Structure 1
Amino acid sequence: MRKPVRLLAAFVGLCCLCLSSLALAWEHWGGDRGGSRFSPLTQITPGNVGNLVRAWEFRTGDLDSRAPEVMKRTKFQATPLLVEDSLIFCSPFNEVIALDPGSGAQKWRYDPKISTSQRPANRYNCRGVAYWVDDRAGANAACRARIFMGTNDVRVIALDARTGIPCEDFGSHGEVRLATPPLEWPGEFQITSAPVIIRGVAIVGSSIADNRRVEAPAGTVRAFDARTGVARWNFDPLVHSGVIAGHANVWAPMSMDEDRGLVFLPTSSPSPDFWGGKRPGNNDHANSVVALRAETGELVWSFQTVHHDVWDYDLPAQPTLARIDTGEGMRDVVIQPTKQGFVFVLDRDTGKPVWPVEERSVPQSGAEGEQLSPTQPFPTHVPALVPQRISADDVFGLIPFRDRSLCREQIAAARNDGLYTPPSTQGTVVYPMTGGGVNWGGAAFDPVNQILYANTSRAVHIVKLIPRATAQGFNPPPGHDFGQQIGAPFAMTRAVAMSPLGLLCNKPPWGEMVAVDLKAGKVLWRSRVGTTEDRAPLGIAFGWGTPLVNGVAITAGGLAFTGAMDAYLRAFDARSGEELWQGRLPVPGVANPMTYLWQGEQYVAIGAGGHSESGTTIGDSVVAFRLARPGEAPSLWSRTVDRPGGRFMAKAIAFAFVVVLLAIAAWRWRRRAKRFA
C-alpha cells in the first residue's frame, strides 16, 4: 500500500506546482511566498551538471569605490529575483541593481546614498528586495510593478521595477522613514531582510544590536499601504506585562500565505540575550512563530520554540510553508528550523504541532536574579539535525598534546550540563553555538518528493557572565564579543571555542547539508559542505565542512545548490547527497543561490561577497552559471568533483601537510623538554 500512497503524493505535488505561481521564475526571496526554495526547472540534472560553465560575473563596484575599513563591515547576502525580465538584487549599501539575465549587463541602478559613518550593529547588509504588482494600475502605468526594500538607515523604499525610478506616490518621493525610539547610535537599529508584500500591504521587520541594554528598542513589526506608504498597523511581538525588555524583533525573512491572508513571523529573543531577571515568565511571543492577519496585524496564533531565552536561540530562519503528507493525509503546515537544530512542524491554521512536542526538564540554577523556565519544548518526530551535547573528551585538534589539550581545557573549565545549560560567571558551554543549527538561509522543501533540505553549522560558544562591579572598564580577551547588558547585574563575553591553530574545537564536520523525510521522521543523508582550501596554507582542502549560515536551492532536476565559506558554488545529488560539481567563485558565496530560465537556458546564480564576520576575503560579485553550449567546453571555473585522481591527490597532500605539522610540533616539544630538563 505504501507505493500507491507515494505515487499519489507525488501526483498531488506536481498538480500543486502546475497551479502555483512559482512557474519558471524566482519572484520572491525564498523562491516563492512560502520560502520553499524549490524550482520546477529540470534542464540541469545530475547527469549533465558537470557541463556547467560560468555564464557571467557582475561586480557592483563597491570593492573599488568604498574604503577598505568600510568593506570590512559588510555582508553580501542578497538573493536576486527574476522579475520584469531582469535579475534584481540589493548591495550591502542598499543600492538596487537590475541586470540582464543572460549577460549580466547592468540595466539600471538606484542608490539611496546610505551613510557609511553610521556603523550598523549587524554590518552593512541587505538580503534582498520584494516584488509586487498593483493590479489596480494600468498595464503601462509607472510603478505598476514595484520593488520594495528596507534599508540600513531604516527607510522603506519603493521603486518602479522596470526603471528603478522611485514611486512618487509612495510616502515622500518613494520612501517612508521609520520612526524609531531613542537610539544609542544610528546603527543600533536597521532593516536587513526583504519586506513581504501581501494583499496590498508592505510589511517589514528590523535588526537591533544585541546585548547592549535591558531597555532596548522594541522589536515592532510595521506595515504600510503598498501604494501610498500610509501606515496600516504595528505589532510588538513581546508581551510587556511585568517585563522590562525590548527586542523580540523579526530580523530574519518572513513568509506569507496569500489565500489565507496570513504573514508568518520568526521572532527573536528579548533583551538582553544572556540574563533575563527583569523579564520573568516565558516572554510570549518572543522566540516564536507568529501568524498575523496581513491586512490588520491581528494575532491569529503563536507557537514558542524557547521559553525565557537566555541563550540567544532566537528564530533566524524564514518559516517554510509547505503541503506535506503526514501519513494521515495532506496538510498545510509551517516548517520552522532552529539554531538548536530542531525542526518544528506546525498546522498552518492553528499553530498546533503536527507531531507531538514534549516539554522536558532542562538544567536549572541560573545566575543571581535569573528566573529560568523549568522545561523547554522538544520535537519528538523529526530528529535534531545537529548534535546538542559535547564533552571535554570529545574535542578536536591536529596536535594532540597542544591543540586538543587546550580545547579540552576550554570545555572542561566551563559549566556544561547539555542543551539549555544557563549562562554563568564560571563560563558556560553553548552547543550548538548561537549561530549554529539552521541560520538565516532557512530550509528548502521539495513538494514532489516530500523532502526537506537544510544547511547546518556546528561550533561551540563559551558564554561568560561578568559581574557589574568588574564590567566597568573590562577589556575582553582577543576574539571575545563583549556585551554591556546595561541595566542587568552582569555584562557578558562570548567566544567560539578554537584551538591555537585557529581550528574549531569540536570535531568535524563543521558544516553539513541534511535531507529529511518529514513523514517518516528520518534523516536520509548528510553531506559535508565546504573545505579549508581558501583558509589553509598552500590551499590544502581538508573536507571538514565550513559553517553554513546560507541556504539551499533545490530543483525538480534532482539537484541541491549551495555556497559555503570557501569560494565555490556546489551542486549535490538531491537523492543521495553526493557532491557532483563545483563552480569557482571570486570569493565565498555566503548567500542563498537561485535558479531561473532565460531564453531557453537554465541558469544558477549566487551573490559572492564573502563574510566579514567569519574572516573570509571580501568581494562584490554576482556570478551565474549555465550549461555549456555546443562547441563550448567547461572552463577552469567549473569542475566535477570526481575527476580522475582528484580525491586521492587531495588526501595525499592533506596527509603530508598534517605529518609536517606534527613533526614541527614534536621537534619544538622536544627542544622545550630539553630546556627544562
Structure 2
Amino acid sequence: MERVSWKIQAGMWVLAIGGITTVVLQHPLRTVDAAAATQKASNSSWTTYGGSNDDAQYSALKQINRTNAKELQQVWFYPAGNNGFRYGSNPLVIDGVMFVYGKNNAVVALDATTGKEIWVYDTHDPRLISHRGMTYWESKDHSDRRILFSMNNRLHALDARTGKDIESFGDHGAVDLRLGLGRDPSTIRQIQSNTPGRVFENLYITGSATGEEYDSPPGDLRAFNVVSGKLVWQFHTVPHPGEMGYDTWPKGAYKYAGGTNNWGEFSIDEKRGIVYFPLGSPTYDFYGADRIGANLFSDCLLALDARTGKYIWHFQTTHHDLWDYDLETGPKLMTIEHDGKMVDVVVQAGKNGFVYVFDRTNGKPIWPIEERPVPKSDVPGEESWPTQPFPTHIPPFARQKFTPDMVNPYIADPKEREAIKKEVEEARQEGIFTPPSLATTMETPGNNGGGNWGSGAIDPTTNTFYVVSKDAPSLLHLEAKPPKRQIAGSPETQGYAVYLQNCQTCHGDHRQGQPPAIPSLEGVIEKAGADRVRNAVHNGLAPMPAFPDLDTADIDHLIAYLKAPDKANLSPEVKARLLAPPVPTTKLGPGGRRYWTGYGYMNSSEGLAAISPPWSSLTAYDMNKGDMKWRIPLGEVSELVAKGIRNTGSYWPRGGAVITAGGLIVVGTRSDAKLHIYDKDTGRQISEIQMPGGPEGIPTVYEVNGREYIALSARLSSDKVVGDQPKSMENPTGPVAQTQGYYAYALPESSRAKK
C-alpha cells in the first residue's frame, strides 16, 4: 500500500502517488470586490446554472420554510412539447424574466410570475441543444444583456430583451465549436456540452461532450470573449508535445485520443479567479490499449486560471480509466473548520461513491488519500494502472459491492431472481477497480451510478454537503466488435442486420431496452419520429454514443426495421454470421485491436433494478468533520408504492437538489413524479407534491416582487407519448393537456400575507 506523499520543492507542492509525480503550483490570491456582491445576489436570485458560479445549488431565500412548505401550490405551468428538453433543465430568472427551452427546442422568455411568453426564438431545428440550461451575461452598465446557448455544435448569442440574434457575435451570431480541436471538423459528430457554460467577467467558459467511442475528439477546455465570440484561451486535456502530462500517453496520442472532457458542471472561485473542472474518462471508456499510461488529464479535478487558462493544480481520481468513472458533479466551494483553522476547500463527488476534498488554492487533500494496489487486467494489449487513489476518512455515499444476497427481492419471477444471483456469483468482482475482462466483471455502483450531473449541493451556513446518488451496478464483458457486414434483402431485413451489429447489445434482442437508462425501441418511430431517431444515431444521445461508421443508407434501413420489425426476415444462419466475432488483429493502438462492451445496466424484465433498494439516496455530510450526518432513500417508485412497497428510492433520478435558507432540501424524482421537500438538518420529509409529469434537472428558487417561487422541469416517459401529444387512458385517440414542461410553485397569497 502506498500513501500519498507531499513535500515542498522549488516553491511548489509536489505530490507522489504510485510512481507518478504531480506538480501542484501555488497560485497567488486575487480578489475581485465585485465578485462577493455578485455571489450574494445570485443566492437570492437564479442568474446562473446551479444558482451561482460556485455551483452551490443554494438559495438564501426563506419565505418558504419548514413551517409552511406544506402549503405550496402550483401557480403556473408552461408546456414544452414532446421535443423539448430531454433530461431536465435548470431555468434562469433575471429581473422577473425566466429563460427556458420550449416546444421544438425553442428558446423562450417567460414572465416568471405567470409563465406567460414574452418572446420565442425559433431554433428551426429540434435536434442537438444544450438542454440542461443556458447562460446569461450583461455588461457593467446593463445596456447589453445576452443569453448564450449551444445548438448543433455552435455557440449562439441572443439579445435577452428581444430574443434576436446578436449578429456581431462570432459568425452572424454563432461560433462553430468544432473548429480548433486539431481534427477535421466534418468528422466531429458532437462537441457541445448539454450543460451550459459559465460567465466570468467577459469570458464564456465551457467544457464539451465528445461522445464515448473510439476516435472521439478531445475535450479541450475553452473560453470565448462573450462580446465578440473570439477564442481567448484553450487548454488541451489530452496534452500536446511539450505540455505537462504528454508523457502519460503514448507518443502522438493527442492526434487520435478523445474524451477527457468536462460535460457536467464546473465551478468558479470568483475572488481568486480560479475555475475548477471535473473531467471525464478518455475514450474508448472500457479498453485502453491505444492509450497506455496514466492519461492526464482524464478523471481529474483540474484548477485553471479563469482569465488565462493557465494550469494551477490537478488531482487524478482514476488513473488510466477503464470504468467510465467520469467526474461529473459540480465541484462545491466551501469554507470549513479544519484543525482549528478556517480553510477554503473544493469538494468533489465521484461516480465511484467517494467524496474528495482539497485545499482550494493548492490541491492538497484535506484528509489522506492512499494509493492502493488494484487488480490487473487480463485483456490482450491492456496495461491497467497498478494502483488507484482511495479516500481514507470520509465514508462513501454509495454501495461499492454487489453480492448475491443483495439481489432485489421485489423481482416477481423467482427464476429470474435466481438467474441474476448466478450472474452476480460468477462475475469477477474484486472491488471498484476490477478491470473489464473478456469474461464478465462487476462494476458497483456502476458507470451510471454514484454522483452524476447536478448531484451535489451545499449549505454554507452549516458546512453541510449533500449528494443525490444512485446504485446502478453494471456487468461488463469485452469482446471484439464484428466487422460491418451487409446483406441482401428488404430495407427492413437490412435494417435488422444493422440493429443486430450496433444496437442489440444495449437495447436487447427484442428492442425492449433497459429502462430507465436505455429506453425501449418498441414503437419508437411512431412515438418520437424518424428525424429524432436519425439524429440520435448520427450524433449520439447520452449515454448512447454516435455511430460514425453508419452511412445514410444504413440509418434509413435501421429506421425501416424499427418502423416495421415484423417485415424483417433473417435465417438463424445469417444472423449467426452477422454476429460472429472477427479474428483479432495483432496490431495495437490506433486502427489496431479494439474491444467493446455494452454499459451493462442490470435490470429485471419488469424494468426494476437487479440490486436491492434503496436505488437512490440523499446523503448529508458534516464537512467540518468529514462525517456522514444521515442518509435516506430519495423518492419511491409509483408501481411499487401501489403494492405497499415503500422507501425504495427513485429509479433513477436525473438532476439534483437545492438547499434553502428556509431550512429545506428541494428535489424532484421522476419514478414517482413528485417534488420532495425535506428538512435540511435531519432529512425528515416535510412535504411532497404529486406532479403531472416526471421532474428532472435542478429546481430553480427565485423571488419576484417579494414572493418566493420554486420552479422545475418535468417530462413524459417515452411510452406515454404519441407524436406530440400524450396518450389518455380515457380517450386514447384524442389529444389531452400537455404535462411536459415547467411547473412553478409558491405559497398562497393569503398564507404569505400572514407571515
Global fold match (TM > 0.5):
yes
| Counterpart in the other structure of 1:233 | 233
Partner of 2:599, secondary structure, is strand
Q: Distance in 1 between matches of 2:131 and 2:421?
A: 38
Q: Distance in 1 between matches of 2:389 and 2:348?
A: 13
Of 397-406 and 608-617, more deviation after overlay is shown by: 608-617
Counterpart mapping for 1:160-239 below 5 A: 160-180=159-179, 181-182=183-184, 187-210=189-212, 212-213=213-214, 215-239=215-239
| Counterpart in the other structure of 1:48 | 68
Deviation at 1:541, TM superposition (A): 6.1
Task: Decide whether the 8 Å contact of 1:429 with 1:463 is kept in 2.
Answer: yes
Q: Distance in 1 between matches of 2:279 and 2:311?
A: 13
Query: What's the CA shift string for 1:26-74, capped at 9, x where partnerless?
Result: 11111111011111111111221111111111112x32xx5xxxx7xx6
Deviation at 1:111, TM superposition (A): 2.5
Picking from 119, 125, 131, the partner of 1:126 is 131
Counterpart mapping for 1:96-495 below 5 A: 96-114=107-125, 116=127, 125-135=130-140, 138-139=141-142, 141=143, 144-151=144-151, 153-180=152-179, 181-182=183-184, 187-210=189-212, 212-213=213-214, 215-239=215-239, 241=246, 242-243=249-250, 244=253, 245-398=257-410, 399=412, 401-468=414-481, 474=501, 475-476=504-505, 477-478=508-509, 479=513, 487-495=592-600
Q: Distance in 2 between matches of 1:130 and 1:249?
A: 19
Task: Decide whether the 8 Å contact of 1:257 with 1:263 is kept in 2.
Answer: yes
Task: Decide whether the 8 Å contact of 2:39 with 2:53 is kept in 1.
Answer: no
Q: Which amino acid aligns with 1:25?
A: S
Unmatched 5+ stretches in structure 2: 1-35, 241-245, 486-499, 519-543, 548-589, 727-737
Partner of 2:70, secondary structure, is helix
Deviation at 1:336, TM superposition (A): 0.8
Counterpart mapping for 1:559-578 below 5 A: 559-565=664-670, 566-578=672-684
Picking from 624, 629, 642, the partner of 2:744 is 624
Residue 612 of structure 2 is aligned to residue 607 of structure 1: no
| Counterpart in the other structure of 2:703 | 597
Q: Which amino acid aligns with 2:110?
A: L
Instruction: Label 1:193 to 1:94 Cα distance change in 2 as closer, same or farther (>3 A).
Output: farther
Task: Decide whether the 8 Å contact of 1:203 with 1:222 is kept in 2.
Answer: yes
Of 160-169 and 306-315, more deviation after overlay is shown by: 160-169
Deviation at 1:542, TM superposition (A): 3.7
| Counterpart in the other structure of 2:685 | 579
Task: Decide whether the 8 Å contact of 1:93 with 1:126 is kept in 2.
Answer: no
Q: Distance in 2 between matches of 1:93 and 1:267?
A: 30
Task: Decide whether the 8 Å contact of 1:438 with 1:549 is kept in 2.
Answer: no
Deviation at 1:290, TM superposition (A): 1.0
Q: Which amino acid aligns with 2:741?
A: S
Task: Decide whether the 8 Å contact of 1:131 with 1:197 is kept in 2.
Answer: yes
Instruction: Label 1:105 to 1:377 Cα distance change in 2 as closer, same or farther (>3 A).
Output: same
Partner of 1:507, secondary structure, is coil
Q: Distance in 1 between matches of 2:383 and 2:323?
A: 14
Query: What's the CA shift string for 1:288-315, capped at 9, x where partnerless?
Result: 1111122221111111111110000011
The alignment yields a C-alpha RMSD, in angstroms, of: 2.8
Deviation at 1:499, TM superposition (A): 2.5
Task: Decide whether the 8 Å contact of 1:498 with 1:504 is kept in 2.
Answer: yes
Q: Percent identical across equivalent pairs?
A: 32
Partner of 1:45, secondary structure, is coil
Q: Which amino acid aligns with 2:113?
A: G
Partner of 1:208, secondary structure, is coil
Of 387-396 and 608-617, more deviation after overlay is shown by: 608-617
Task: Decide whether the 8 Å contact of 1:199 with 1:261 is kept in 2.
Answer: no
Instruction: Label 1:259 to 1:540 Cα distance change in 2 as closer, same or farther (>3 A).
Output: same
Query: What's the CA shift string for 1:445-500, capped at 9, x where partnerless?
Result: 11111111111101211111013468977453444789899754312122211223
Deviation at 1:395, TM superposition (A): 1.4
| Counterpart in the other structure of 2:50 | 30
Query: What's the CA shift string for 1:553-582, capped at 9, x where partnerless?
Result: 001111001011231111001111011211
Q: Distance in 1 between matches of 2:306 and 2:38?
A: 26
Of 84-93 and 257-266, more deviation after overlay is shown by: 84-93
Partner of 2:414, secondary structure, is helix
Q: Distance in 1 between matches of 2:716 and 2:615?
A: 18
Unmatched 5+ stretches in structure 1: 1-15, 634-677
Q: Distance in 1 between matches of 2:137 and 2:121?
A: 18
Task: Decide whether the 8 Å contact of 2:344 with 2:360 is kept in 1.
Answer: yes
Partner of 1:445, secondary structure, is strand
Q: Which amino acid aligns with 1:324?
A: I
Partner of 1:393, secondary structure, is helix
Deviation at 1:183, TM superposition (A): 6.6
Partner of 2:430, secondary structure, is coil
Deviation at 1:393, TM superposition (A): 2.9
Q: Distance in 2 between matches of 1:375 and 1:173?
A: 50
Q: Which amino acid aligns with 2:57?
A: R
Q: Distance in 2 between matches of 1:438 and 1:376?
A: 19
Deviation at 1:506, TM superposition (A): 0.8
Partner of 2:451, secondary structure, is coil
Number of residue pairs aligned between Structure 1 and Structure 2: 594
Q: Distance in 2 between matches of 1:329 and 1:355?
A: 14
Query: What's the CA shift string for 1:634-665, capped at 9, x where partnerless?
Result: xxxxxxxxxxxxxxxxxxxxxxxxxxxxxxxx
Of 106-115 and 275-284, more deviation after overlay is shown by: 106-115
Task: Decide whether the 8 Å contact of 1:77 with 1:125 is kept in 2.
Answer: no
Instruction: Label 1:631 to 1:128 Cα distance change in 2 as closer, same or farther (>3 A).
Output: closer
Q: Which amino acid aligns with 1:601?
A: R
| Counterpart in the other structure of 1:655 | none
Length-normalised TM-score, structure 2 = 0.74
Q: Which amino acid aligns with 2:139?
A: D
Task: Decide whether the 8 Å contact of 1:269 with 1:309 is kept in 2.
Answer: yes
Q: Which amino acid aligns with 1:20?
A: K
Deviation at 1:19, TM superposition (A): 7.8
Residue 661 of structure 2 is aligned to residue 556 of structure 1: yes
Counterpart mapping for 1:539-550 below 5 A: 542-546=646-650, 547-550=652-655
Picking from 611, 625, 634, the partner of 1:520 is 625
Deviation at 1:84, TM superposition (A): 2.9
Q: Distance in 1 between matches of 2:603 and 2:461?
A: 42
Q: Distance in 2 between matches of 1:29 and 1:613?
A: 30
Q: Which amino acid aligns with 1:81?
A: L
Q: Which amino acid aligns with 1:53?
A: Q
Task: Decide whether the 8 Å contact of 2:211 with 2:259 is kept in 1.
Answer: no
Task: Decide whether the 8 Å contact of 2:79 with 2:102 is kept in 1.
Answer: no
Q: Distance in 1 between matches of 2:43 and 2:259?
A: 37
